[in-house]
Amino acid sequence: MINREMTWYYLRISYFPQFMAGVMRIEWPERFQILKELYDNDPEDIPWEIRSEDPMADMMRWVGSKGESAYFKFFVKGTKVNKDGSFKLHPNISKCLGVFGIGTDERL
């Protein structure tokens, strides 16, 4: 269990801030698609699309009210951490990290 906890700590302080910065630079129509796919990646939750009649506006309001914690929820839904501490990121998270990956600021 300690491996998973350490990995989540590492992801939270290293990957998540860059993901959030990257996704916030994207205009809402594309951002909505990226976040919707991350949200829908969780088979235990109902798809975002059927939550309301205007799912993009609903997401914009929800993210606006929750801020960073909303973006972290999307990040978690797109991240799989194994018992041994290894992890796999959804391609949409990687896309938001930029061409050169973590620790770069090419999109800043």
Separation CA 74–CA 85 (nearest Å): 20
- Which string of b and e fits 30-62 if b means at least 16 CB within 10 Å? ebbebbbbbbebeeeeeebeeeeeeebeebeee
Whole-number pLDDT of residue 2: 80
Backbone angles phi, psi at 106, to 5 degrees: -65, -20
Residue type, 62: W
Tokens matching residue 2: 């300690």
Whole-number pLDDT of residue 14: 92
Q: What is the pLDDT along the chain (108 residues), one digit of tens a residue?
A: 689 999 999 999 999 999 999 999 999 999 999 999 999 998 888 888 877 889 999 999 999 999 999 999 999 999 999 999 999 999 999 999 876 556 555 544
Whole-number pLDDT of residue 50: 78
